[in-house]
């Protein structure tokens, strides 16, 4: 399509594996030749958003994600294959968390990812939570990898990340859908909420790890609903991915397929919005 809008902001929310749904949304923006003026991302939204801000297309991000998550053997090869020193530093038995956040993301992110925010093609804001001040901390300059790791550092699963004296954890605890960070900097804001409708299924009592992760998702959804009730973004897209668990990354094919309906909804909304802009 020949349409292009130069003053759109994009906010990608947190939700673990559900955030793979962001990929189909990015592909719609590519179809409309829309390059966001600014991007803000929380947790998985920060990871996907940083790749897009670096210049990867939605299709390239899908291909890359499929390479990692379509088969467990591929992910294990990436983590443990040819970098034994990194593997040794990945698991930290001296802390309650399982994985070292920075090492983990260094091993799974593309080696071509820019080293700093300043090298990105699109201005990008990574949302983190300062553990000690209990406040949002937005990172949009300096080294990129630690910021992505901090935004996704879910306690008990990934270690907190220290940046410039701050101890930072998953940004979902303070702002799971960060459209408010960019709404005053752009003309129109698209926000993608991947917290998902809760699955209406009875199940067994979760173990401690699943209960902790699940409780964090309850909080993400509650915060997101409160934000939207107070002030909606211009375009809100909410893929129906609530049936998937936070760690269901190996269900990438199902999540991408389930995201198509939300992608169609964005197409319809953009067509309407662009007609108004062109009028």
Tokens 């990867």 -> residue: 56
Q: Could you count the other beta carbons within 10 Å of the beta carbon of residue 92?
A: 15
Token representation of residue 257: 């397929």
| Residue spans of alpha helices (H) in the chain | 22-31, 44-53, 58-69, 72-80, 84-90, 101-108, 144-151, 208-230, 252-258, 260-278
Residues in Cβ contact with 63 at an 8 Å cutoff, skipping those fewer than 6 apart: none
State how far the Cα of 244 lies from the Cα of 274, in Å rounded to an integer: 33
Element holding 125 (H helix, E strand):
strand 124-130
State how far the Cα of 43 lies from the Cα of 148, in Å rounded to an integer: 7
Q: Is 234 an active-site residue?
A: no
Say which of 50, 65, 151, 170 is annotated catalytic.
170
State how far the Cα of 32 lies from the Cα of 3, in Å rounded to an integer: 6
Tokens 């930290």 -> residue: 92
Q: Is 43 an active-site residue?
A: yes
* Residue 189: strand pairing partners: 9
Say which of 43, 50, 151, 152 is annotated catalytic.
43
Report, as residue numbers or ranges, the catalytic residues.
Answer: 43, 170
């Amino acid at each position: 399509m020949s349409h292009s809008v130069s003053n759109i902001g994009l906010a990608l929310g947190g939700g673990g594996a559900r955030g793979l749904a962001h990929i189909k949304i990015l592909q719609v923006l590519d179809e409309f030749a829309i390059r966001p003026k600014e991007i803000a991302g929380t947790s998985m939204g920060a990871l996907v958003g940083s790749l897009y801000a670096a210049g990867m297309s939605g299709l390239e991000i899908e291909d890359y994600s499929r390479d990692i998550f379509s088969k467990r053997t591929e992910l294990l090869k990436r983590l443990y294959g040819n970098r034994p020193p990194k593997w040794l530093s990945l698991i930290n038995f001296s802390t309650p968390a399982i994985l070292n956040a920075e090492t983990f993301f260094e091993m799974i992110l593309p080696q071509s990812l820019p080293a700093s925010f300043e090298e990105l093609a699109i201005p990008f804001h990574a949302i983190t939570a300062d553990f000690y001040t209990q406040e949002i901390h937005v990172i949009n300059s300096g080294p990129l990898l630690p910021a992505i790791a901090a935004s996704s550092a879910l306690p008990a699963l990934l270690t907190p990340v220290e940046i410039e004296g701050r101890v930072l954890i998953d940004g979902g605890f303070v702002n799971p859908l960060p459209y408010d960070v960019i709404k005053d900097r752009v003309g129109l804001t698209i926000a993608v909420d991947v917290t998902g409708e809760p699955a209406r299924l009875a199940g067994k009592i979760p173990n401690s790890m699943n209960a902790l992760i699940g409780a964090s998702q309850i909080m993400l959804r509650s915060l997101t609903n409160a934000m939207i009730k107070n002030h909606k973004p211009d375009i809100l897209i909410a893929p129906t991915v609530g049936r998937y668990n936070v760690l269901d990354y190996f269900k990438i094919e199902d999540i991408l397929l389930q995201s198509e309906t939300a992608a169609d909804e964005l197409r319809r909304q953009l067509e309407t919005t662009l007609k108004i802009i062109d009028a």
